[in-house]
Chain A
Amino acid sequence: MSQTIVIAEIAKGAIHPTTAELITAANALGSAPIVIVPCTDSTIADAAGTIQGISKVIALKSDIFAEYDASGWATAIDAVAPSGIIITSANPQSKDLAARLAARRNISVVQDVVAIEGGNLVSPIYSGKAMQTVSLGGDAAVSVRANIFAASPQGASADVSVVDATGDMATAVEEFLARASTRLDVAEANIIISGGRGMGSPDNFSHLEKIADTIGAAVGASRAAVDTWEPISHAMQVGQTGKTVNPNLYIAVGISGAIQHLAGMRSSKYIVAINKDADAPIFQHADYGIVATWEEALPVLQASLSAMMN
């Protein structure tokens, strides 16, 4: 059984729930993992010790973990991680780290894994138009997509040891830039409601925002909408030249389902499509399809969801 090492996912100063999914993936690939928690405050690592299926937790404490620096983080983590299969999440920063760690150890990296079948790793290629299955002939770094593996349950009490790390930052954050929008980012959301050109005008995205506010969702857009309407920013774009997302729920409104767009959202757990054209390709990928104009469907959806949330 290969040794596995999970790099805990940290968001807003705490262990992100995705970490428990990485632990499930680690157990599928080898033995119960060592979980490394890069942190500035080692107490956050205690939350990793309660997840079942791990061997131990290393709280890797250093000021360098305040801001992401690829070189500094890889150096510090490499120093404490034993050899084995390193597992990270597949958000952009963690993929970057996985690539760095693999290169540091002269081992291969496999990104965006969505299934583990008999020890082999399955990941999407050509933006999800095909799948690739690879076998590992030794140690590797592996990034795993969120919302695919079941979270390993709570209820354990593994040892947490604190290790002070040192490392040099190769880059420096000069300033944080105010976001153009205060809305939740599609890359960080568990629920996304996206609009396409079928919304008719950028002003009509306010109807999507209203639903987003009701259920805590982010608002996304298709490339057609971003290219057509100035107020719809590229940061909202889901698809091959935008963001690849993997939420629990993706609601596509007035989006036909071009390959470009499907590439960025087809692995969402549940997909709802609202489109007036019954032949729109998006319906082939929807768990729940509603053939209707958005003007008919959105007020009903809004009212129903509001009633549920109260």
Chain B
Amino acid sequence: MTNIAVLVKQVPDTNARIVISDDRVDLSAVKMVMSPYDEFAVETALQHREASGGEVTAITVGGASADKVLKDAKAIGVDHIVRIDCDSYLDSNSLQSMISSVINEIGAEVVYCGKAAADTGAGSTGPGIAERLGWASVSNIISATFSDIISVVAPVQGGNARISVSLPAVISCDKGNVKVRKPNVKGIMQAKKAQVDVKSASPSSSSISIVSHSLPPSKPAGKTYEGGAAAAEVAQLLRDEANVI
């Protein structure tokens, strides 16, 4: 029996256009979804439960609107859903301290998360909470098998390796070969009725602050050629102008 936790985050649909107003990203018109890599984390957590027995708790941080991502996880099959209530900007330090305290509180022995959230792309949360908890961690795994220890496949310099990890541990999940299960009707019905366990945790002070958001600088227009023969000229420019060949 293993007490398993999985971290999920609500992010803008990855196909959404990002709009800036008053120096801040404006997400008011954007559809919010579970961050894509978190789907692999949920799937891996459920496979772990199937192998070892136990229960899976999905945890998110956010305001009430983030309950949807928990309901989505519930519909796929997690047992418990927990939201750490917070609606303001958190730097990595504050966010991780809040999550770590809740992981301790629920007594999880292993935490799964996506390799990075689709909004920040940072990938700091998994290794960061592992350090705070004093746990092992492996990042960006592409497959896992479960016994007394967890055996994962993860990238190392020059290729992949099979790595053994003893619990407690934090494991972040890449896409890999995992096929993600879809919610069934029963799951969706259960998710509708499910209660979100709302917890509060006090963030530690933030040492960074956001100055502004902006659109990426648009690239000066490049040179465009018609016809395949121009590839010869482009090859010359790559060597003589760009100095990259």
Does A17 have its Cβ within 8 Å of any Cβ on chain B?
no
Q: Which single residue of chain A is at the shortest CB-CB distance from B209?
A: A135
Is A126 in contact with B25, judged by CB distance below 8 angstroms?
A: yes
Chain B positions within 8 Å of A230 at CB level: none
Min CB distance A39 to B, Å, is 14
Is A177 in contact with B162, judged by CB distance below 8 angstroms?
A: yes
Chain B positions within 8 Å of A102 at CB level: 92-93, 124, 128
Min CB distance A183 to B, Å, is 11
Chain A positions within 8 Å of B245 at CB level: 191, 215, 249, 305, 308-309
Candidate in B165, B212, B215, B244 with the most chain A CB atoms within 10 angstroms: B244
Is B228 in contact with A290, judged by CB distance below 8 angstroms?
A: yes
The B interface is mostly helix, strand or loop, or mixed, namely mixed
Q: Which of A40-48, A55-63, A108-116, A201-209 contacts B (4 or more CB under 8 A)?
A: A108-116
Is A110 in contact with B208, judged by CB distance below 8 angstroms?
A: yes
Bound CA–CA A52/B189 (angstroms): 64
Is B210 in contact with A132, judged by CB distance below 8 angstroms?
A: yes
Min CB distance B218 to A, Å, is 8
Is B224 in contact with A133, judged by CB distance below 8 angstroms?
A: no
Is A274 in contact with B130, judged by CB distance below 8 angstroms?
A: no
Does B164 have its Cβ within 8 Å of any Cβ on chain A?
yes
Min CB distance B136 to A, Å, is 3
Min CB distance A193 to B, Å, is 12
Q: Which of A21-29, A151-159, A264-272 contacts B (4 or more CB under 8 A)?
A: A264-272
Is B123 in contact with A95, judged by CB distance below 8 angstroms?
A: yes
Bound CA–CA A120/B210 (angstroms): 9
Does B104 have its Cβ within 8 Å of any Cβ on chain A?
no
Is B231 in contact with A297, judged by CB distance below 8 angstroms?
A: yes
A:183-240 near B, CB below 8 Å: 185, 187, 191, 215, 234, 240
Does B229 have its Cβ within 8 Å of any Cβ on chain A?
yes
Bound CA–CA A290/B224 (angstroms): 6
Min CB distance B135 to A, Å, is 8
Instruction: From the candidates B36, B207, B238, name the one contacting A140 in the complex (CB within 8 A).
Output: B207
Min CB distance A213 to B, Å, is 14
Does B60 have its Cβ within 8 Å of any Cβ on chain A?
no
Q: Which single residue of chain B is at the shortest CB-CB distance from A302?
A: B231
Instruction: From the candidates A97, A284, A304, name the one contacting B236 in the complex (CB within 8 A).
Output: A304
Is B210 in contact with A133, judged by CB distance below 8 angstroms?
A: yes
Candidate in B20, B115, B209, B245 with the most chain A CB atoms within 10 angstroms: B245
**Bitwise interface map of A from 268 to 289 toward B, beta carbon under 8 Å scored 1, else 0:** 0111101000100001111111
Is B214 in contact with A289, judged by CB distance below 8 angstroms?
A: no
Does B77 have its Cβ within 8 Å of any Cβ on chain A?
no
Is B131 in contact with A100, judged by CB distance below 8 angstroms?
A: yes
B:82-116 near A, CB below 8 Å: 91-93, 96-97, 115
A:46-104 near B, CB below 8 Å: 67-68, 70-71, 74, 92-93, 95-100, 102-104
Chain A positions within 8 Å of B122 at CB level: 95, 99, 109, 111-112
Bound CA–CA A67/B209 (angstroms): 35
Bound CA–CA A234/B210 (angstroms): 35
Does B200 have its Cβ within 8 Å of any Cβ on chain A?
no
Which size class do B's interface residues fall under?
A: 35 or more
The A interface is mostly helix, strand or loop, or mixed, namely mixed
B:122-144 near A, CB below 8 Å: 122-132, 135-140
Is B163 in contact with A172, judged by CB distance below 8 angstroms?
A: yes
Min CB distance B203 to A, Å, is 12
Chain B positions within 8 Å of A174 at CB level: 151, 161-164
B:189-236 near A, CB below 8 Å: 204, 206-217, 219, 222-232, 234-236
Known interface pairs A111-B123, A112-B122; A131-B91 also in contact (CB < 8 Å): no
Does B12 have its Cβ within 8 Å of any Cβ on chain A?
yes
Bound CA–CA A296/B83 (angstroms): 56
Does B157 have its Cβ within 8 Å of any Cβ on chain A?
yes
Min CB distance A255 to B, Å, is 15
Does B52 have its Cβ within 8 Å of any Cβ on chain A?
no
Does B15 have its Cβ within 8 Å of any Cβ on chain A?
yes
A:157-193 near B, CB below 8 Å: 170-179, 185, 187, 191
Instruction: From the candidates A137, A177, A300, A309, name the one contacting B228 in the complex (CB within 8 A).
Output: A300
Q: Which single residue of chain B is at the shortest CB-CB distance from A216?
A: B245
Chain A positions within 8 Å of B231 at CB level: 274, 290, 292, 297-298, 300-301, 304
Min CB distance A65 to B, Å, is 12
13 CB-based A-B contacts, threshold 8 Å:
A71-B131, A71-B136, A99-B123, A99-B131, A108-B93, A111-B121, A173-B156, A177-B159, A179-B159, A259-B14, A260-B15, A284-B219, A308-B245
Closest 6 CB pairs of A and B: A296-B228, A170-B136, A304-B235, A103-B131, A99-B124, A297-B228
Q: Add 10 more A-B contacts to A126-B12, A304-B235 (CB < 8 A).
A: A71-B137, A95-B124, A96-B139, A99-B127, A100-B137, A104-B131, A108-B92, A134-B208, A174-B164, A292-B231
